[in-house]
Amino acid sequence: MENITLGQKRVQRNFNPSANPIIEDLKEQHANLIDKLEIMKDPKNAREISIAQTNIETACMYAVKSLFV
């Protein structure tokens, strides 16, 4: 079974029923950014990092959604 990163989990990296390569790329880039922020997280900045990660997740969702409107 493949290990899945926090970023991949949050952007639902494995969910792409249309196998659209643009969606694949968008999700991978957003997942990578979430993972980079996770490495930076410590007790002093945990709240800010978590908010940033949530906003990246939201941005990814809307970027994917924009392909279908």
Does pLDDT of 1 surpass 90?
no
Query: What is the pLDDT at residue 14?
Result: 93
pTM exceeds 0.75, yes or no: yes
Q: Would residue 60 count as lying in a domain?
A: yes
Domain holding 32, by residue range, is 19-66
Number of domains in the chain: 1
Confidence of residue 2 (pLDDT cuts 50, 70, 90): confident
Q: What is the pLDDT of residues 11-50, one digit of tens each?
A: 999 999 999 999 999 999 999 999 999 999 999 999 999 9
Q: Would residue 41 count as lying in a domain?
A: yes
Average pLDDT over residues 41-62: 98
Cβ-contact 10, 57 below 8 angstroms: yes
Q: Would residue 43 count as lying in a domain?
A: yes
Give residue 12's region: left, alpha or beta (phi > 0; psi -120 to 50).
left
Assigned token pair, 19: 């196998």
Q: Would residue 44 count as lying in a domain?
A: yes
Q: Would residue 2 count as lying in a domain?
A: no
